[in-house]
Structure 1
Amino acid sequence: MSLKKYITYIKVVETGSLTKAAEILNYTQPSISQMISSLEEEYGFSLLVRQKNGVKPTENGLKVLKAMREIEKGYGKLSETVDEINGLETGNIRIGAYISIATNWMPKILSEFKQLYPFIEIQLYEGNASELERWLDEDKIDFAIGSSYHNKGYFRFLSEDPIVAVMNSQHELAQSDVIDIRTLESVEYILPYSDSLFEVHDLIKKAGIQPRVAYRIRGDETIIAMVRNNLGISLLPQLLLSHSPLDNITVKPLSSYTSRKVGILTNTTKHAQTPSIHKMIHFIEEWVEKHHHQERFN
C-alpha cells in the first residue's frame, strides 16, 4: 500500500535517520530501506541523500514530501471521521507553543482535554516565534499557540499579553510606579535575541531609542535569572512571569501600554482540519475565554 510508504518516507525525513524511523514505526531497518527504494524506483528519481550522520531529502524528495503529507492528513481525517460516526474519539494532534504558554496554560488544558478525549494522542513542542513559524511551514505541527506578529497563515485571537518591565527588587527603578521605555537608554538592558519576542524588538524600534544593551540572551528563563541577579532590566510578556519564582524580582507596567496578541496559528482553514484538531482548538478557545473571564471578576 502506497500510504504506508508515504508515512515511512515522511518519518525518515522528520527523524533524519532510517534507524530512528524504523524504531518509531516498529519496522526493521531493511524494510524501511526497501520501501524507500520501492518509491524511488516507482518515481524514477532519488528521494534521499545518504550522509555520515543520517539522511536528508533530495530536492525532488522535498517536492513530493508536501503532497505525501497532504495524503497522510486526508487519510487521518477520514479515519477520525469514521471513528467519530461510530462513537469513538481518536486522533493525533501536534501542537507548538511558546514556552510561556506551554508552561502556564497547556498542563491544565491537556489535563482537562484528556478527561474528555482519552484516546486522542497529543504531542507538544516548545519553541520561540521563529521555530513555530518554521514548524508550521514544514508541517511538523498541526497548529501553534503564539503571537500574531509575522503570522503568514490563519490567526484566531485568544487574549492579550501585556509587555512589562522586570528588574531586581533592589534596582534603582524598582520604586517607580511605571517605566518609561526611554529609560532603557540610561540603564543596563538585557535584550532577547532577534529570533524571539518580536513585539519587544518592535516596541524599541518604534520608540526610536538605542537601549544600553549589557547582554543579549536566548532563553526566557535565562533572562529572568539574569534580572534576578541584578545584571540589568528587561521587557518581557507578563504571561512568561506567571509561574516563574519572582523572589528578588519586581514587575512594573510600561507608561505606554503595549501587548502581544496571543492566538492559534494554522496553515489550513477550519474546514481542512481533522475532527480531533478541531475539537482541541475549540476546547482551547473556550478554556482561555473562561480563564480570563474568571481573572477579570476575581
Structure 2
Amino acid sequence: MNHRQVEAFQAVMETGSVTKAGKVLYISQPAVSRLISDLESNVGFKLFFRRKGRLEPTVEGRRLFETVEHAFLGLRKIEQTATAIKSLRTGELRIITMPGVATMLLPPILTRYCKQYPDISLEVENRPRLQVMDWLNSQQYDFGIANLPLEVDDVRVHSTVAMDLVCVLPVGHRLAKKTLIKASDFEGESFVSYSPNTGTRMYIDQYFQQAKVNRKLKMEFRNTHEIYPMVAAGFGLSILLPFHKYIELGYNLVFRPLENAIKTELALLIPEKREPSMATKRFFEIYHEFMAEHESNQFI
C-alpha cells in the first residue's frame, strides 16, 4: 500500500467516479483504475462494486474510508485497519428476525460465530415477519431472517432453507404412537395455534380447510416458543415450525411428520441497496453449515 493508491481511493470515494477522480488527480482514468486495483490487492478485499452502471463502495470500502478521512493517522493506521477488517477483528453485525428464530435458532449459531469472530459486536432485534421486512428496508440492519413470501420492495432473498411444519404432541397422547399424522387425525382435537395474523397460521388454516377437518381452537399465540409449554401441559396439539431441531427444549413433547406436509421457506434477506459485508458473509456460511448439520435431527 502506498500514498498514491490511498489518494486515488479517497478521490473516487469523494467524487463517486473514476473519471472525475482522474481529473482531480490529473491522471488518466485507466491510471486511477490501476491504483484502485492495486490497493484492493494489497488490502485483500473489494472496495467498490457496480450496480446499474454506477460505482458503489462496499461495506468494507466505507469502513476503510472512515480511516482514510483521518489522514493524519498516516498510512500505518490505514494498513492496520485494513488488516483488522479482513480478519474480522473489528466490525458489527446487526440482525433483525422473527421471535422464534431469535430465541431458538440463533443462539447456537451465534455461539459458533462468536467463537470464530469474538471481536464482532452483535445487535439482534426480533419482530413479526412483516416488520422484519419493513425494518430491513430501512437499511438499519445488515440482514434479516424470516419466512417467505417476500412482501416488500428493496429487500432481496440471499438464500433459503426449506422446512416442513411438524405435528407437536404431549408425551402419552394417543396419536404419539403413529409415525405419520394425517389431517383427519386432528378432527375434534383441541389445538394450540399460531395467531390469526401470522403467515404460518394461514398455511395451517388452508391445510385443514382443504381436508375439511374441524379442530377445536383452544389457545392462540404469536410465537413458537410460547406454544411448546402449552402443548406439553396438555392443552392441545399443534403444528409448528421445526425449531426443535436446533435447540434443547426441555419439554416432554413428541414430534411427528404430517401427511401432505405443510412446507415453508426460511430466508436470509438483505437490503437491495447494500452489498453483504464480510462479517455478514461469514455468518451466512456458518448458518448454512449449522442448518445442514441438523437437517436429519427432526423427529423424536
The TM-score, its normalising length taken from structure 1, stands at 0.62
Look up the match of 2:142.
142
Question: What do the CA deviations read for 1:193-223 (whole angstroms, capped 9, x no partner)?
Answer: 1343x23421421542443212222332221
Cα offset for 1:144? 1.0
Look up the match of 1:239.
243
Q: 1:187-202 counterparts in 2 under 5 A?
A: 187-196=189-198, 198-202=199-203
Look up the match of 2:229.
225
Change beyond 3 A, Cα 1:173–1:285: closer
Cα offset for 1:273? 3.2
Once the two structures are aligned, what percentage of the paired residues are identical? Answer: 17
Question: What do the CA deviations read for 1:112-166 (whole angstroms, capped 9, x no partner)?
Answer: 3334433322111233323322322344422112222344331233422221111
Look up the match of 1:276.
279
Change beyond 3 A, Cα 1:92–1:213: same
Instruction: Report if aligned partners of 1:200, 1:235 keep a CA contact under 8 Å in 2.
Output: no
Change beyond 3 A, Cα 1:75–1:250: closer
Q: 1:35-50 counterparts in 2 under 5 A?
A: none
Is 280-289 or 144-153 further displaced after alignment?
280-289
Look up the match of 2:82.
86
Look up the match of 1:216.
220
Instruction: Report if aligned partners of 1:94, 1:142 keep a CA contact under 8 Å in 2.
Output: yes
The TM-score, its normalising length taken from structure 2, stands at 0.61
Q: In 2, distance between residues paired with 1:222 and 1:287?
A: 24
Larger Rg: 2
Q: In 2, distance between residues paired with 1:86 and 1:214?
A: 57
The number of residues matched between the two structures is 220
Change beyond 3 A, Cα 1:229–1:100: same
Instruction: Report if aligned partners of 1:214, 1:232 keep a CA contact under 8 Å in 2.
Output: yes
Change beyond 3 A, Cα 1:81–1:115: farther
Change beyond 3 A, Cα 1:245–1:163: same
Look up the match of 2:123.
123
Q: In 1, distance between residues paired with 2:279 and 2:186?
A: 46
Q: Report the AA paired with residue 221 of structure 2.
A: I
Instruction: Report if aligned partners of 1:129, 1:195 keep a CA contact under 8 Å in 2.
Output: no
